[in-house]
Amino acid sequence: MIEVTNLSKRYGDVTAVQDVSFTAAPGEILGFLGPNGAGKTTTLRIITGFLPATAGTVRVCGFDVFEQSAEVRRRIGYLPENPPLYNDMTVVPYLRFAGKLHGLGRGELGAALDRVVEACGLSAVTGRLLGHLSKGYRQRVGLAQALLHEPEVLILDEPTNGLDPGQIRDMLAFIRSLGAQRTIMLSTHILSQVLSACHKVVIINDGRVVLEAPLGDLTRDRSLEDVYTQAISGGLAAAEAVV
Amino acid sequence: MRNALTIAGREVRSYFSSPVAYVLLAAFLALAGYFFYALLTAFNQALALYSMMRNPEALQRFNLNEMVVRPLLHNMSVLLIFIIPALTMRLFPEEKRSGTYELLLTSPVRIGEIVAGKFLGGLVLVTLMVALSGIFGFILSRYGNPEIPMMLSGYFGLFLMAVAFLAIGTLISSFTDNVVVAYVGTLFALLVLYTIGWLGETLSGFWGSVVRYLSVTDHFQELTKGVIDTKNLVYFATILIVSLFLTHRSVESVRWR
């Protein structure tokens, strides 16, 4: 699970994230929504331990991201906004490399590799150079990398970015199928994706959380689009009124 | 340690799956081969000239080590100043540019392992480079009679110098996400280290001795003379350890609050 409490991040005078709090329970898929530049990527990078927070705490599976960073990193699978691929490698050696970094032994690695290649539909491209793959395949290899070590928590930064409609549908269905066993947090700025994949929504605007609510309650008598527009334009007060 | 070897292995594969390793090795060996040929030709001509003059005393002073091996090692050390930065410039910037840095830093890998992996990857290439340049020494020992221990000591010096340069290059590449900045920054640092001894000749007293100690050339020259002194080994070890320690701090700094 993920618990974010009063998280702030400042770059010099610029505040990227201000006093952000929310939680994601085990088995929950959390949709992290917000306009471009709202602080989504920054928040995700702090949760994964890539960036330090200026203030506040993040706990993943009960471990503090700052104090027990290694424990957290062992339990997280992370797909950054740009899939972290070495363009001069082919798919299988790359996945082997990522698996080894996550502590998979020689024995486990083979099985894990077969599993993610199958699950992410990569069998047709296993021998291809990563630099030659299409955007859709790059995204899938990135996801495969995040799934290799069967993490308890999956952080996906715009996993459907650059995919075509068919691929988006497949990706979301796949993410839903993963959700039963783990906590998943995915960021996006496309509302329909949240509707089709998530249990819970956190909307962030200008570095602040303007809404945190289960999707069911939220869209009972209005569309998510209305909720989103109101939350983004009206700020905190309006969003609370909505809930 | 296992993680460090994983990272080093990927680094080496990346050098050899792109033209980088081949171009660097070929450029280094071709230029070194040219120097070797030029030095040897000059040596032979001078030898022939003095033999004609039937001057046994002058002939006595002819020495393959002094006239071919040491100048060759010196020239190769100058080549390293230009080649090593090209080898280290991509170590960190490429990761930062392509986003794979996020993979490294969010994996359960210690920062020391990342730094060691990067350095070891470069070390494989540097070792190969110095080892391949051993062909010139081999040719000399096959067809002439250089003093082998002195020559080996010189090659050892060249290797130590290359390792020290590699560590400095690794450090400077960790500061930036731009390969040009990494290359020029390292080139600058290496040139300063190489030429700082020139100041030592004019300065006297405390600063003179400090500058002379810092000069990589002085330590290298002693090794090419066949003198393996602890003082020189300590010098190269210090550069190595300090550079890698600072690289560790520099990589770690992204996690500082």
Across B203-227, average pLDDT: 87
Q: Measured between alpha carbons, how far is B118 from B167 in angstroms, rounded to an integer?
A: 10
Predicted local confidence at residue B199, as pLDDT: 84
Predicted local confidence at residue A241, as pLDDT: 52
Across A110-114, average pLDDT: 93
Domain that holds residue A34: 2-82+152-242
pTM value? 0.91
Query: Do the Cβ atoms of B102 and A86 come within 8 Å?
Result: no
We report the CATH number of the domain holding residue A201 as: 3.40.50.300
Query: Do the Cβ atoms of A52 and B257 come within 8 Å?
Result: yes
Residue B7 · residue B113 · CB < 8 Å: yes
B58, with CB counted inside 10 A (0-12, 13-18, 19+), is middle
Q: Which of A166, A139, A168, A143 is nearest to A155 (CA)?
A: A143
pLDDT-derived band at A164 (thresholds 50, 70, 90) equals: confident
pLDDT-derived band at A226 (thresholds 50, 70, 90) equals: confident
Residue A24 · residue A1 · CB < 8 Å: yes
Q: Which of A54, A59, A30, A64 is nearest to A157 (CA)?
A: A30
B 99-118 residues with CB < 8 A to A: 99-110
Predicted local confidence at residue A202, as pLDDT: 93
> Cβ atoms within 10 A of the Cβ of B89, count?
25
Predicted local confidence at residue B106, as pLDDT: 94
Predicted local confidence at residue B40, as pLDDT: 93
**Strand order across the A76-79 sheet:** A76-79, A153-157, A183-188, A29-33, A200-205, A208-214
Residue B173 · residue B89 · CB < 8 Å: yes
| pLDDT of A92 strictly over 90 | yes
Considering only the beta carbons, identify the residue of A66, A76, A85 that sits closest to B100: A85
Residue of A86, A106, A133 to mutate, testing the B interface (most B Cβ within 10 Å of its Cβ): A86
Q: Measured between alpha carbons, how far is B101 from B107 in angstroms, rounded to an integer?
A: 10
Q: Measured between alpha carbons, how far is A140 from A136 in angstroms, rounded to an integer?
A: 6
* pLDDT single digits (tens) A205-217: 999 998 888 888 7
Rounded to two decimals, the ipTM of the complex is 0.89
Percent of chain A's residues with pLDDT above 70: 96
The half-sphere exposure of B36 on its side-chain side, counting CA atoms within 13 A, is 17
Q: State the nearest Cα–Cα gap between A221 and chain B, in angstroms.
A: 41
| pLDDT of B119 strictly over 60 | yes
| In chain B, where the domains are located | 2-34+69-255
Within 8 A of A66 by CB-CB distance, chain B residues are: 257
Predicted local confidence at residue B257, as pLDDT: 67
A13, with CB counted inside 10 A (0-12, 13-18, 19+), is exposed
Q: Measured between alpha carbons, how far is A228 from A34 in angstroms, rounded to an integer?
A: 8
Predicted local confidence at residue B201, as pLDDT: 77
> What average pLDDT does the structure give for chain B?
92
A113-127, B185-199, B202-216 — which is least confidently predicted?
B202-216
Within 8 A of B96 by CB-CB distance, chain A residues are: none
A8 lies in some domain: yes
DSSP label at residue B63 = -
pLDDT-derived band at B131 (thresholds 50, 70, 90) equals: very high
Across B7-30, average pLDDT: 95
Predicted local confidence at residue A240, as pLDDT: 55
DSSP annotation string for B157-172: HHHHHHHHHHHHHHHH
Predicted local confidence at residue B204, as pLDDT: 81
Percent of chain B's residues with pLDDT above 90: 74
| pLDDT of B145 strictly over 70 | yes
Q: Measured between alpha carbons, how far is B204 from A187 in angstroms, rounded to an integer?
A: 64
pLDDT-derived band at A77 (thresholds 50, 70, 90) equals: very high
Q: Measured between alpha carbons, how far is A143 from B121 in angstroms, rounded to an integer?
A: 27
Q: Measured between alpha carbons, how far is A212 from A23 in angstroms, rounded to an integer?
A: 9
Q: Measured between alpha carbons, how far is B222 from B217 in angstroms, rounded to an integer?
A: 9
Contacts of A52 (CB under 8 A, 6+ apart): A46, A66, B254, B255, B256, B257
| pLDDT of A236 strictly over 60 | no
pLDDT-derived band at A163 (thresholds 50, 70, 90) equals: confident
A11-20, B51-60, B110-119 — which is least confidently predicted?
B51-60
Provide Rg for chain B, Cα atoms.
21
B142 part of contact set with chain A, CB < 8 Å:
no
A233 lies in some domain: yes
Across A150-171, average pLDDT: 88
| pLDDT of A235 strictly over 70 | no
> What average pLDDT does the structure give for chain A?
89
Q: Which of A164, A219, A73 is nearest to B108 (CA)?
A: A73
A20 lies in some domain: yes
Residue of B2, B6, B100, B257 to mutate, testing the A interface (most A Cβ within 10 Å of its Cβ): B100
Q: Which of A177, A134, A140 is nearest to A156 (CA)?
A: A140
- The count of domains in chain A is 1
Q: How far is CA B35 from the centre of its chain?
A: 17
A75 lies in some domain: yes
pLDDT-derived band at B46 (thresholds 50, 70, 90) equals: confident
Predicted local confidence at residue B42, as pLDDT: 92
Percent of chain A's residues with pLDDT above 90: 60
Across B228-232, average pLDDT: 91
Q: Which of B250, B252, B106, B255 is nearest to A54 (CA)?
A: B255
